Amino acid sequence: MKQVEGAATAMDLLSRAAGIWRQAAAFKRGLAGGTLVRLFVSCLAAAGFAIAAFGVSPTSAAETAAVEIPFDGLTLTGDLVRPDDVDTSQPIVLLVHGTFAHKDLELIEALQAALAEREVASLAVTLSLGQDRRVGMWDCNQPSTHRHEDAVAEISAWVDWLGDEGFGQIVPLGHSRGGAQVALWLSRQGERADIPAAVLIAPATEDGSAAESYEQRFGANLSNVLAEAKAAEPGQMLDVPGLVYCSNTTATAQSVLSYHAENPERDTPTLLTRGVSMPVLVIAASEDEVVTDLPERLAPIIDSAKIRLETVEGADHMFLDFFAEDAADLVAEHVTAIP
């Protein structure tokens, strides 16, 4: 692993900077959106610029490493961040991004930095979607051969790698579709000693509006698209009006069916009732306009001993800026409560 570069004589400044970030997050929670908060954030940004000039960042007291592992003829990539005082006997969070995204997404990077400040190690990974060393958002000009459920095998590969590295307590965390994919992985694993807890941030649900949403987005009848996909061979390439958020694209029949045919294995609340035995923290955003039915759908299965729902007030689906700090507070609390 490569040590993050930083001025050794500036550790006191680092400590103070981390404290400022935490105080700012607390201050924001008390006066969300007010003028004083915006004023304080502006001052904090100026302070952050000064800190950068000294070569110090909130994660300077952490080791970081770019990680690559072989998988099914491809190379998967990830970023490992481990605070200096954290060893492999302590829990590590495995972060899985949302739809067609990647490990360098703003939210994922913010969570890794915030977790490091809270003395929690993490590994953020990029799902391959069938591409070697995939970087950035999925390119809709590429033909899609991947499936929603392909994430299960890749999550397993990363869990195995962390186990080989000596980590005995792994906490999978998924955001958005990644949350549903983590829930799917959990439902297929059953009870495991090395998976003592999990976290789902704004995980995806299936609300029965897929056909209506498809027609609004792509101007096409989803039933016709699915009928064509069902009649084709699984690997046959089809020209389709849309796939997830890609318009007028090419995809295999099995890819179309995986993402658009009705399937309870894309629905987080359903999956959490299927053999998920460890404590699961679900974090919702009060202003989420993407996953709008999460609290309502989870209400019948909330159990303080197993499934816990927390809502970050003022956050939208992406938990940008200080809302990532709020989420990190909840994640760190959940992780440190592991026996």
The burial class, CB within 10 Å (0-12 / 13-18 / 19+), for 67 is: middle
Map tokens 């952050």 to a residue.
48
Q: Are 287 and 253 in contact (CB under 8 A)?
A: no
50-89 confidence digits (pLDDT tens): 222 222 344 447 899 999 999 999 999 999 999 998 999 9
SS3 annotation, 140-173: CCCCECCCHHHHHHHHHHHHHHHHHCCCCCEEEE
- For 250-269, the pLDDT digits (tens) are 999 999 999 999 999 999 99
Pairing of strands 62-71, 237-243: unpaired
* Percent of the chain predicted with pLDDT > 90: 78
For residue 23, pLDDT beyond 90: no
**What does the block give as tokens for 52?**
């950068």
Query: Residue 326, SS3?
Result: helix
What pLDDT is recorded for position 36?
29
Q: pLDDT-derived band of residue 103, with 50, 70 and 90 as boundaries? A: very high
What are the strands, taking DSSP E only, across the chain?
2-3, 62-71, 74-83, 92-96, 121-126, 170-175, 198-201, 237-243, 246-252, 280-285, 307-312
Q: What is the pLDDT of residues 32-61, one digit of tens each?
A: 333 223 223 333 333 333 222 222 344 447
Q: What is the distance between the alpha carbons of residues 190 and 198, in angstroms, rounded to a whole number?
A: 13
Cβ proximity of 116 and 123 under 8 Å:
no
For 184-222, write each residue's pLDDT tens digit. Answer: 999 999 889 999 999 999 999 998 889 999 999 999 999
* Percent of the chain's residues with pLDDT above 70: 82
- State yes or no: pLDDT of 18 exceeds 70: no
Q: Residue 223 has what pLDDT?
A: 97
